[in-house]
Structure 1
Amino acid sequence: MDQPGQLSDVRNVVLIVMDTARENASQQLDCILEDATRFNRAFSASPWTLPSHASIFTGLYPSKHGAHADHKQLEPDVSVLAEVFRDAGYETVAVSNNTWISEEFGFNQCFETFYKTWQYVQSDTDLGRIARQEEGLDKITRAAKALFEGNPVSNLANAIYGQFFRKTDDDGAARTNEWINDWLDTRDDSRPFFLFVNYLEPHLEYRPSKEHAIDHLPGGVTYEEAMEVSQDAWEYIAGTNEMADEDFEILRALYRAEISYLSERIQEVVAILKAAGEWEETLFVVTSDHGENIGEHGLMDHQYALYDTLLHVPLFVHGGPFEDKSVDDLVQLIDLPPTILDVLDIDAPAAREQFQGISFHPDAPETREYAIAEYLAPQPSMDALKKRVGELPDSVRQYDRSLRAIRTAKYKYIRGSDGSRELYDIRNDPGETQDIADTHGDVGDELDAQLDEWLDSFEHADYSDDVSMDEQTKARLEDLGYLQ
């Protein structure tokens, strides 16, 4: 690829992922990133955390990097962005608030520092959810056994922190910013840095403070009433928990309140970078790994579908050649690695050869014709869902499939492994409410062939074995709503 000739004063990179923030969060970010470039058509490569983050880190689609529901691991045989920065002499630092983004699933590769906010003392043994998962004697027995794995003092501190303190204010954003501030104060500033941050807000459950919620709740609804609305996505999907339109209106308000709070925390990071004298030399990227269904398409959470509610995400880039403007070009999150390397003028030929993403640097010669998304296996599986909610109706069994989608500026085509086909005129029907596959068969056939051509253009990862995880990790993931 011919690299852009523009050089800038940027030497650092901050990449922030707002976990589960769908595109309309951009409205609340505009005021704090007013000098940034806003990308209005940015799309994730997958609708949930693990494969989407793997795509951000590698510049690859899930079929290529191989991390998805049937293989929950980012393997070390692909280059990651942190590796490029490490080899270029950067300090590489990650702060994670989501258990999926941890060393257990391969996301610590090439980070010098990997900080997990759900632990008070950084440890390989995670006790933060034991007390919540078990009752009575089982709780005591399991906690006692795990306490003496590794460092008992650290484990005890983490158990107490996870049970009593961590979620008193937020899902880790405040502690994340305190850590970033301390790190910037003490780091060796002779080296440039790459800082990755995953904030967990606004992931289910939506539990904003009363202060933030009251500005968003519908008239006549109290904070206490809002917090009583069911947020059990799996019971809703299975049809065992009925939700009214008013319930979803309240949940969307709570969701917006979470975004509002997180926007303030991101604004705080900008202030921290300015106080440290690093802002003007930093490429600052804010995006999301995926969106959320809050009643749309008969779904909650972010599984079982490839609609734009899950794929259309906010993307703001500040620094270097990115200035105050709005861009309507199609871009994908897998385009971030080549774009960032172009801004910093880092060669990295091996990594660039791997990338499936297309640089959206203002001087880049290419633009994207279409966006691709993949959902290679249901998460949770039908068996896991059945264990949680009981016998599943046929309407839920339809989700036991893989999905791929191709999206142009006008149409969105979704194909399932069960033979299903959906087609939407997203220019006139952005909510994807009217399936026109039956009436526009020629368009569907053309996009179907284009999807096949894309699939045939590269070698797919082949990891047939599922990845085991320890019980503490399972407990934390289930606490976040991920059934295993």
Structure 2
Amino acid sequence: MRDSPNIAVVVMDTARDSDVISSTAPTIAELGEAGTRYTEAFSAAPWTLPSHGSLFTGSYPSKHGAYSGHEHLDDALPTLPELLGDAGYETFGVTNNTWITDEFGFGRGFDTLRKAWQLLPGDGNMLWEMVQVQDEENSEGLLERALSGNPIRNAVNAAYARFAYARRDSGAGRTVDLIDDWLGSRSGDRPFFLFANCIEPHLEYEPPREYAEEFLPDDVSYADATALEQDPWEYLVGNVNHSSEEFDVLRALYRAEIASLDDRIAELRDALVAAGEWEDTILVVVGDHGENIGDHGMMDHQYCLYDTLLHVPLVIQGPGFEDGGEVDDLTSLVDLAPTLLDAAGVDAPDAREEFQGRSVHPDADAESREELYAEYMNPQPTMAALERQVGELPEYVYRFDRSLRAVRTEEYKFIRGSDGTRELYHVAEDSAERSSLENERPELAAELEERLDEWIDSFEHAETSEEVDISGARKQQLEELGYLQ
């Protein structure tokens, strides 16, 4: 075994904990049994950009500054791949989510960060625009942009995206292929940091037929299931209604997506074994946030801080984490950066001074945390973006025009909105967060609110006054994923 272990982090984009482990994802269950499963793991934010920012920097959104309104991870804080790269690690990543790209500040520290939807690597997301644009109104300037930069590469990538990418799944198969090729091309004996964002559980749920048929009710065909409306914003504003049976079908498709991704994770493990790297590798499998599938009257993963969006799977297997069993201490994704630095034997004292997380490495002497936090800094999409998408909004939708912060202990969660709303849940007994106790337990609500305010005042917040421009192909791709701009 080399002195420092390899580290591989696989993000299951939009995987919520209750739908991941056990029969839905046997590979992840095996990894948890052989390693350590953190049963009370929570995201610091309910959507991709700020959550990955927290995972990469070990800090909460208001400190790292990447969230709606400032959609960029600035360089004020070092990232995990930067810190490991500085310590001698080779760093390689594959992403299937356009947020997690160079354009949004996530390339820092990677020797290579591949976009899985590109056959030929290059800057920008031009291919997505070329493939997705279907009408004359949105095609304005498309030819000029296609001919800019490297038009041959743009054309090859567009053809690849249209006819090959995501034919097997939503890109996880392509991701494993890229990683397998990279493992086979490596030379030397440097340890590596490997990162992969896999987007299968994300809307729209379109699992391969063979997986869907394992989970769908007997009387529902694959064609009928995938024909169900999955636009979360049309549902939010009441233009689409789903029965409980239809939501059961959507949940079945969602579980099938996870089962499909679980098999790709098994293939990644096989690739590491074939490359002779498995015994020296710490493998982390984690969800960046969860999903509402009719829960709380919502679809997608915006506008709230309920556990359907925050409670995520987290398993770590490999040197130092063997046979750790189940850890039921409160764990946040901000804890991953210090944990993995400990696993790598990297000191990085200046970075650790900035971390808001604490190591959950089995050899760490940190005390169990009493509380953790989550933030939703701005609504995404904004009310104006929703109006452009669906037309006039019902009055009740404007209640989502707010920011949210939450503090959680093992027993209770307190959520406060910028509009003055306050919610208190006894999550130990009311895990679905159906009954707010704010009026019944005002003293406890006040105590938790005070703890929340003390935490907010305890650190320097990011300066995010400068607006980030999102236009062209990136905007189109984000809108395809439901992130209206």
Give the Cα–Cα distance (whole angstroms) in 2 for the partners of residues 171 and 219 of structure 1: 25
Paired position in structure 2 for 1:341:
341
The amino acid that maps onto 2:308 is T
CA RMSD in angstroms comes to: 1.5
Contact 1:125 / 1:146 at 8 angstroms: preserved in 2?
A: no
Question: Residue 292 of structure 1 contacts residue 309 of structure 1 at CA under 8 Å; is this kept in 2?
Answer: yes
Identity rate, percent: 51
Q: Distance in 1 between matches of 2:383 and 2:258?
A: 31
Partner residue, 1:15: 9
CA 1:416–1:424: 2 relative to 1, 3 Å: same
1:66 CA drift (Å): 0.6
How far apart, in 1, do the equivalents of 2:236 and 2:228 lie? 16
What is the rounded CA distance, in whole Å, between the counterparts of 1:228 and 1:136 in structure 2? 22
- Alpha-carbon offset, residue 137 of structure 1: 5.1
Instruction: Label 1:376 to 1:390 Cα distance change in 2 as closer, same or farther (>3 A).
Output: same
Query: In the TM superposition, what are the counterparts of 1:57-96 in structure 2 within 5 Å?
Result: 57-96=56-95
Q: Secondary structure of the equivalent of 1:472?
A: helix
Residue pair 2:57, 2:78 contacting (<8 A) in 1 also = yes
Distance 1:130 1:196 in 2: 26
The aligned residue for residue 3 of structure 1 is none
Q: State the match for 1:103 in structure 2.
A: 102
Q: Report the AA paired with residue 445 of structure 1.
A: A
Q: How does 1:258-269 map to 2 (within 5 A)?
A: 258-269=257-268
What pairs with 1:431-446 in structure 2 (closer than 5 Å)? Answer: 431-446=432-447
1:355 equivalent in structure 2: 355
After superposition, the C-alpha distances for 1:416-465 in whole angstroms (9 at most, x for unaligned) are 00000001111111010111111011111110000011111111112112
Given that 1:131 and 1:139 are in contact with CA atoms closer than 8 Å, whether structure 2 keeps it comes out as: no
Q: Is the 8 A contact 2:124 2:474 kept in 1?
A: no
Partner of 1:4: none
* 1:387/1:88 CA distance change after superposition, 3 Å: same
Summarize the Cα distance change of 1:61–1:40 in structure 2 as closer, same or farther, 3 Å threshold.
Answer: same
Q: d(CA) in 2 for partners of 1:132 and 1:247? A: 30
Contact 1:32 1:267 in 2 (8 A): no
* Stretch moving more, 109-118 or 463-472: 463-472
> CA, structure 1 residues 136+240, in 2 after alignment: closer, same or farther (shift >3 Å)?
closer
Q: Which amino acid in the other structure matches residue 472 of structure 1?
A: A
Deviation at 1:320, TM superposition (A): 2.1
Alpha-carbon distance between aligned partners in 1 of 2:130 and 2:462, rounded to the nearest angstrom: 38
**Aligned position for 1:468:** 469
1:26 to 21, 29, 39: 21
Moved more, 139-148 or 365-374: 139-148
Distance apart, 1:143 and its partner CA: 3.5
Query: Is the Cα contact below 8 Å between 1:59 and 1:337 reproduced in 2?
Result: yes
After superposition, what is the alpha-carbon deviation per residue over 1:384-404, rounded to whole angstroms, capped at 9, x for unaligned?
A: 011001111121100000000
Partner of 2:276: 277
Pick which of 340-349 and 293-302 moved more: 340-349
Structure 1: which amino acid aligns with 2:356?
A: Q
1:130–1:139 contact (8 Å) kept in structure 2? no
Structural mapping, 1:362-381, within 5 Å: 362-365=362-365, 366-381=367-382
Tell me the equivalent position of 2:450: 449
Give the TM-score normalised by the residue count of structure 1.
0.96
CA contact (8 A) 2:127 2:155 kept: no
Please give the alpha-carbon distance, in whole angstroms, between the structure 2 residues aligned to 1:89 and 1:473. Answer: 33
Alignment-mate amino acid for residue 122 of structure 1 = P
For residues 380 and 76 of structure 1, do their structure 2 counterparts lie closer, same or farther at Cα, with a shift above 3 Å needed? same
The verdict on how the C-alpha distance between 1:141 and 1:375 changes in structure 2, with shifts beyond 3 A counting, is closer
1:236–1:58: structure 2 CA closer, same or farther, 3 Å change rule? same
Q: 1:58 & 1:134 partners in 2: Cα distance?
A: 35
| CA distance in structure 2 between the partners assigned to 1:85 and 1:52 by the alignment | 20
* TM, length-normalised to structure 2: 0.96
Counterparts in 2 of 1:214-293, with a 5 A limit? 214-293=213-292
Residues in 2 aligned to 1:164 and 1:412: alpha-carbon distance in whole angstroms? 47
Query: Which 5+ residue runs of structure 1 have no aligned equivalent?
Result: 1-6
Q: Is the 8 A contact 1:104 1:469 kept in 2?
A: no
Q: CA deviation at 1:127?
A: 2.6
Distance 2:259 2:465 in 1: 41
Deviation at 1:334, TM superposition (A): 0.4
